[in-house]
Chains A and B, each alone.
Chain A
Amino acid sequence: MKYKAKIIVRLEEGLNDPEGRVIGKALKNLGYKIADLKVPKYFEVVFESENPEKDVEEMCRRLLANPVIHTYEYQIEPLGE
Chain B
Amino acid sequence: MPKFAVIVFPGTNCDFETVETIKKAGGKAERVWYKESLKDFDGVVLPGGFSYADYLRGGAISARAEIMEEVKELAKEGKPVLGICNGFQILTEAKLLPGALRPNKIPRFLCRWIYLRVAVTETAFTSFYKEGEVIRMPIAHAEGNYYANNLSKVRIAFQYSNENGEIIEDANPNGSLLNIAGISNENGNVLGMMPHPERASDRWLGSEDGLRVFKSMVKYAKR
Binding site for B on A (CB under 8 A): 15-16, 18-19, 21-22, 62-64, 66, 68-69
Contacts and interface: CB of A to CB of B under 8 A. Distances in A.
Contacts of A62: 64
Contact of A18 (B104, B147, B148): B104
Nearest to A20: B107
Contact of B147 (A19, A22, A64, A69): A69
B219 to A, nearest CB: 33
B107 A18 contact: yes
Interface in B45-60: 56-57, 60
B103 interface: yes
Interface centre among B60, B64, B100 (most CB of A within 10 A): B100
Contacts of B64: 62-63
A69 B104 contact: no
* Residues of B contacting A: mostly: loop
Contacts of A18: 103-107
Candidate in B57, B92, B93, B103 with the most chain A CB atoms within 10 angstroms: B57
Contact of B100 (A22, A64, A66): A66
Interface of B: 56-57, 60, 64, 92-93, 98-100, 102-107, 147-149, 175
A66 B175 CA distance: 19
A27 B98 CA distance: 36
B175 A63 contact: no
Nearest to B149: A68
A15 B147 contact: yes
A15 B148 CA distance: 11
B107 A22 contact: yes
Contact of A63 (B56, B107, B148, B149): B56
Nearest to B63: A63
A15 B175 CA distance: 12
Contacts of B56: 63-64
A63 B100 contact: no
B102 A69 contact: yes
A66 B60 contact: yes
A15 B102 contact: yes
Given A15-B102, A15-B147, A66 B107 contact: no
Contact of A16 (B93, B149, B175): B175
Contacts of B105: 16, 18
Contacts of A15: 102, 147
Contacts of A68: 92, 98-100, 147-149
**Smallest CB-CB A-B distances: 7 pairs:** A18-B107, A68-B100, A69-B100, A18-B103, A66-B100, A19-B107, A22-B107
A22 B105 CA distance: 11
Nearest to B102: A69
Nearest to A21: B107
A54 to B, nearest CB: 19
